[in-house]
Amino acid sequence: MTAKSATLTTLREMNSRSVLDALQKERRLSRAEVARKLGMSKPTANHAIGVLREAGLVREVPRQEGELHYGAVFFEPAVDVGQVIGIDIGMRHVRGAIADLEGTVLARFDHPRGAEGPEDLLACVERVRDQLIAAAPDCPDGVLATVVAVAGIVEPGSEQLRVSSEPALEGYSIKEGLGGVLPGELTLDNDVNLAALGELRRGAGRGIEDFAFLAVGSGVGAGLVLDGRLRRGHHGAAGEVDYPGHRRFAADSPAADSLRALIATAHRAQQRAGSAPESAEAPTPEEVFARAGHGDAFAFKVVREEARRVAAAIATIALVVDVPLVVIGGGIGLNGSVLLDPVRTRLAQLVPYPPRVQISELGDAASVIGAVCVAARTAWPQVVSARLATALATAMP
């Protein structure tokens, strides 16, 4: 290739990328609109669109019946040329989603699990993988990337799981194990960090530069978004606001084990006072939240104490980074109908500038949505580079 042809190829690639970026931003454009928005000549815009069509990166938008188009042909990005998978490994479920290269979910599948060891976990992940691939439409490039959300920290270098809420997985070389069953380029990240990214891209954090996501479930952790970017910390351990050290859990934690202990203590007090039968078992956290919603005095007292604990965790974040919004998620945190008001009331007593507090818009899918968004952002540029290179190599000089 001569220097002149190399320069021409580079220019064509730059033009093609500019057009593709415009199409991604605007969703659909005609040739004339591309030329006008980018300040290109119409022949240059036409050629760039031709290269992108040859690469399979854009396609014509089908005309809708009755639509006024005045003969113009519109184009859109072909984000369905490949797919990505997001997996969330939780204590009770492995949740999964398969999406196109824009992060739009094509299929979801969740599978229950217990706190088993690595072999049982991998078998569960395989079942989720198979269901997702079977449910998704065929695509030319297949699954290009998978992102997995884990409860803990994947230690850089060793790729071992640390600070895990599951003793059976602590120190497990989890990336090596999952790499044998999951397709495409594999990335692992903390589940709360991915939930924060999910809320940033598709949930309560859309359009907000600074916020925190607080997950309250089997553990308690925060994902911190500042200036529109997730902040992980030097060791990837930012947001461990409830780390119990060598203890299984802290007595005043809002986490599930501490909440169960709180319920058991309150239930025994009821039995001693004669207001609960001696033979009755303590209610579960799910039952307590349901009863609180119906005005049960015992349940409301427990929920008020849980709200105090959640508010204390939020206050720790708010006093350090002063975010305007905290989004609550996790199995316990999603009980917003009874938790939100007492959390807000207590928080106003703890900090001078309390952040707005709201429940996750993505529910139990926050980490999965974050995972597919990250996977799509990883895979799409690689697809664009590979397909453009092929199209430009075969294009006429």
Given a cut of 50, whether residue 177 has pLDDT beyond it is: yes
Given a cut of 50, whether residue 101 has pLDDT beyond it is: yes
Given a cut of 50, whether residue 246 has pLDDT beyond it is: no
Closest to 129 (Cα-Cα) out of 69, 182, 177: 182
**Greatest C-alpha distance within the chain:** 93
Given a cut of 60, whether residue 389 has pLDDT beyond it is: yes
Distance between CA atoms of 236 and 17, rounded to whole angstroms? 33
Chain centre distance of CA 3:
45
Of 218-222, 353-357, 391-395, highest mean pLDDT:
353-357
Closest to 364 (Cα-Cα) out of 229, 146, 203: 203
Q: Quickly state the pLDDT bin for 395 (edges 50, 70, 90).
A: low
Percent of the chain with pLDDT over 70: 94
Mean pLDDT score, 222-230? 96
Closest to 210 (Cα-Cα) out of 311, 316, 326, 313: 326
Given a cut of 90, whether residue 140 has pLDDT beyond it is: yes
Amino acid at position 300, single letter: F
DSSP string across 242-293: T--TTSSS-TT--SHHHHHHHHHHHHHHHHHTTSS-TTPPPPPHHHHHHHHH
Distance between CA atoms of 396 and 161, rounded to whole angstroms? 51
Q: Quickly state the pLDDT bin for 148 (edges 50, 70, 90).
A: very high
Strands 185-190 and 143-150: parallel
Decide: 288 and 267 in contact? Cβ < 8 Å. no
Whole-number Cα distances in Å, 318 to 25, 29, 312, 355, 357 = 34, 43, 10, 7, 11
Given a cut of 70, whether residue 3 has pLDDT beyond it is: no
Decide: 115 and 199 in contact? Cβ < 8 Å. no
pLDDT recorded at residue 317: 95
Distance between CA atoms of 208 and 199, rounded to whole angstroms? 10
Q: Which residue has the higher pLDDT, 213 or 245?
A: 213
Q: What is the pLDDT of residues 267-311, one digit of tens each?
A: 999 999 888 888 889 999 999 999 999 999 999 999 999 999 999
Distance between CA atoms of 200 and 236, rounded to whole angstroms? 19
The residue written with tokens 């994902």 in the block is: 223
pLDDT recorded at residue 247: 52
Given a cut of 80, whether residue 149 has pLDDT beyond it is: yes
Q: Which residue has the higher pLDDT, 347 or 115?
A: 347
Mean pLDDT score, 44-67? 87
The structure tokens listed for 345 are: 């009331």
Q: What is the pLDDT of residues 179-189, one digit of tens each?
A: 999 999 999 99
Query: What does the angle CA 71 – CA 73 – CA 76 come to, to the nearest 5 degrees?
Result: 155
Distance between CA atoms of 339 and 299, rounded to whole angstroms? 12
Beta bridge mates, 225: 211, 230
Cα dihedral 366, 367, 369, 370 in deg (nearest 10): 110
pTM higher than the cut 0.85: yes
